[in-house]
């Protein structure tokens, strides 16, 4: 019997040049959290983003969000507003600083932070003498959030924004690359992201001074003396030169990866359009999504589960949309401003296999399974 291979939600997809850069690290013995690949990878990202930002590559996206909070001076007891509909890594660094998260729900057009609720939340906190120290907004699944609206509110109340672009490298908002839309932006190169270094992240800074501070703090905050002198608490967050080599290779194929993921989205949308109860997330005017994951909103929890289980039966991985932070056991007791949007998405939504390395056979196999599930 022919055994079918497992189809993953989103798996690493190497381009070919990665190993050359890694070999170079070995050949030159730059096996350290510094070296030519680290500098080269940072340059590559800066070039991709239009050369007006300063990039520090770090050990993960989570570490990068943490570093942004540290640089903004977020500390014990401070409040930080965070999009509720996201992966927990957006919010965890708030806890590392012993600060307090305040969660804000999404609007239905992009599934990201609702500007309306954001302003309500800010006003409420200011009234209670708890002006938020930062806002963490997320381009979920690669779809840009409403950056103009969010930035306008942030500016009005003078609160810095941290742009969680972990899922959105290759996305654009009104012709500006995601990762350049805030004071600090964050990328992730985890194994499931649009490009990967096996694990890694980047902090994108609006000034060279911020970048230098980030690098200093991420390499144990060693002062400039012959012995080890420390006047600040440091972190071991720098990316290694071996890992950065993978990143350099991946940057060469980023545009191809975006094109392939967008093609997956088109394939699903085109071939499932007869199922009227399915909703796809469309790009508003001026929004360009990398379509990191293709998501479907079904009509009910039951329909979603039937589809997920049918796929699983055939060894095809799919996953419910992110469970909102305000519903998570670890965060449920924190203040949240909600409107039902993310709860509804969590109940009815499913992420379909979306890797840039899916074959036509894979896609047709997935389609066949979905077509067999009830379509009411
Ligand atoms: C992956 C991800 C992160 C964290 O990145 P890591 O590199 O895995 O630490 C943060 N936010 C979002 C939205 C993510 O998807």
**Pairwise CA distance, residues 185 & 202, whole Å:** 8
Which of 65, 164, 198 for a ligand 1 pocket mutation test, highest count of atoms within 8 Å of Cβ? 164
Residue 369: which pLDDT band, with cuts at 50, 70 and 90?
Answer: very high
Question: Average pLDDT, stretch 263-271?
Answer: 98
Six-digit token string for 14: 């190497």
**pLDDT score for 2:** 58
**Whose structure tokens read 């190169």?**
189
Residue 372: which pLDDT band, with cuts at 50, 70 and 90?
Answer: confident
Domain assignment present for 201: yes
| Helices within the chain (DSSP H only) | 18-27, 36-48, 61-71, 92-96, 115-127, 147-156, 208-218, 241-251, 254-271, 301-313, 341-348, 360-371
Q: Kindly state if the Cβ of 362 falls inside 6 Å of ligand 1.
A: no
pLDDT at 376 over 60: no
Residues 164 and 246 in one domain: yes
Residue range(s) defining the domain that contains residue 261:
254-372
**Pairwise CA distance, residues 155 & 92, whole Å:** 25
Q: Give the rounded percent of residues in the chain with a pLDDT score beyond 70.
A: 98
Burial (Cβ within 10 Å: 0-12, 13-18, ≥19) of residue 359: exposed
- Listed residue (113, 187, 144) closest to 102, CA to CA: 113
- Listed residue (342, 305, 363, 331) closest to 91, CA to CA: 331
Phi, psi of 343 (to 5 degrees): -65, -40
Q: Kindly state if the Cβ of 197 falls inside 6 Å of ligand 1.
A: no
Which of 56, 167, 194 for a ligand 1 pocket mutation test, highest count of atoms within 8 Å of Cβ? 167
Residues 305 and 156 in one domain: no
pLDDT, tens digit, 9 for 90 and up, residues 307-323:
999 999 999 999 999 99
Widest CA span of the chain, in angstroms? 71
Domain assignment present for 4: no
Residues 103 and 156 in one domain: yes
Residues 299 and 314 in one domain: yes
Q: Kindly state if the Cβ of 62 falls inside 6 Å of ligand 1.
A: yes
Query: How far does residue 340's CA lie from ligand 1's centre (Å)?
Result: 24
Residue-by-residue DSSP string for 174-243: TTEETTSSSSEEEEE--TTSSS-SSS-EEEEESSHHHHHHHHHHHBTT--SSSS---SS---B-BPPHHH
Q: Kindly state if the Cβ of 60 falls inside 6 Å of ligand 1.
A: yes
Residues 247 and 329 in one domain: no
**pLDDT score for 10:** 96
Instruction: Collapse the DSSP code of 231 into the 3-class scheme (helix H, G, I; strand E, B; otherwise coil) and give the result.
Output: coil
For the chain, the average pLDDT equals 96
**pLDDT score for 298:** 97
pLDDT, tens digit, 9 for 90 and up, residues 127-149:
999 999 999 999 999 999 999 99
**pLDDT score for 3:** 67
Q: Is 273 a catalytic residue?
A: no
Residues 201 and 86 in one domain: yes
Residues 44 and 162 in one domain: yes
- Listed residue (289, 290, 265) closest to 278, CA to CA: 265
pTM of the complete model beyond 0.85: yes
Dihedral sign, CA of 115, 324, 101, 168?
negative
Domain assignment present for 72: yes
Task: Residue 298: give its domain's CATH number.
Answer: 3.90.1150.10
Query: How far does residue 129's CA lie from ligand 1's centre (Å)?
Result: 31
Q: Kindly state if the Cβ of 196 falls inside 6 Å of ligand 1.
A: no
Task: Residue 77: give its domain's CATH number.
Answer: 3.40.640.10
Q: Are the beta carbons of 297 and 349 closer than 8 angstroms?
A: yes
133, 146, 193, 211: the active-site residue? 193
- Listed residue (132, 72, 127, 81) closest to 104, CA to CA: 81
**Pairwise CA distance, residues 237 & 200, whole Å:** 10
Dihedral sign, CA of 183, 189, 194, 195?
positive
Q: Kindly state if the Cβ of 67 falls inside 6 Å of ligand 1.
A: no
Residues 236 and 294 in one domain: no
Domain assignment present for 237: yes
**Pairwise CA distance, residues 239 & 37, whole Å:** 10
Q: Give the rounded percent of residues in the chain with a pLDDT score beyond 90.
A: 96
pLDDT at 375 over 90: no
Task: Give the residue from 251, 271, 296 where a domain finishes.
Answer: 251
């Amino acid at each position: 019997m022919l055994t079918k291979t497992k189809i993953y939600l989103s798996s690493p997809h190497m381009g070919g040049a990665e190993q050359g850069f890694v070999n170079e690290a070995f050949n030159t013995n730059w096996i350290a959290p510094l070296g030519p690949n680290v500098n080269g990878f940072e340059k590559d990202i800066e070039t991709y983003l239009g050369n007006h930002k300063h990039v520090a590559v770090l050990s993960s996206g989570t570490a990068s969000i943490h570093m942004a909070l540290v640089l903004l001076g977020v500390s014990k007891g401070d409040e930080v507003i965070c999009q509720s509909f996201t992966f927990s890594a957006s919010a965890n660094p708030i806890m590392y600083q012993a600060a307090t998260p305040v969660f804000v729900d999404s609007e239905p057009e992009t599934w990201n932070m609702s500007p309306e609720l954001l302003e309500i939340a800010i006003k409420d906190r200011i009234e209670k003498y708890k002006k938020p120290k930062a806002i963490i907004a997320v381009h979920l699944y690669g779809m840009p959030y409403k950056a103009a609206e969010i930035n306008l509110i942030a500016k009005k109340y003078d609160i810095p924004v941290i742009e969680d672009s972990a899922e959105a490298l290759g996305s654009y908002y009104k012709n500006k690359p995601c990762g350049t839309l805030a004071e600090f932006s964050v990328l992730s190169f985890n194994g499931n992201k649009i490009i990967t270094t096996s694990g890694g992240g980047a902090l994108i800074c609006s000034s060279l001074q911020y970048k230098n501070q980030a690098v200093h703090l991420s390499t144990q905050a060693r002062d400039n003396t012959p012995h080890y002198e420390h006047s600040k608490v440091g972190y071991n967050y720098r990316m290694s030169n071996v890992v950065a080599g993978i990143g350099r290779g991946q940057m060469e194929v980023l545009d191809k990866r975006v094109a392939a993921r967008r093609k997956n989205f088109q394939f699903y949308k085109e071939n499932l359009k007869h199922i009227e109860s399915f909703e796809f997330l469309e790009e508003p005017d001026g929004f360009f999504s990398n379509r990191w994951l293709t998501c479907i909103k079904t009509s009910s929890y039951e329909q979603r589960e039937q589809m997920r289980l049918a796929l699983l039966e055939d060894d095809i991985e799919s996953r419910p949309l992110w469970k909102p932070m305000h519903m998570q056991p670890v965060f449920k007791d924190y203040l949240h401003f909600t409107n039902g949007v993310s709860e509804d998405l969590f109940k009815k939504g499913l992420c379909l296999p979306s890797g840039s390395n899916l074959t036509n056979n894979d896609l047709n196999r997935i389609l066949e399974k979905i077509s067999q599930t009830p379509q009411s």
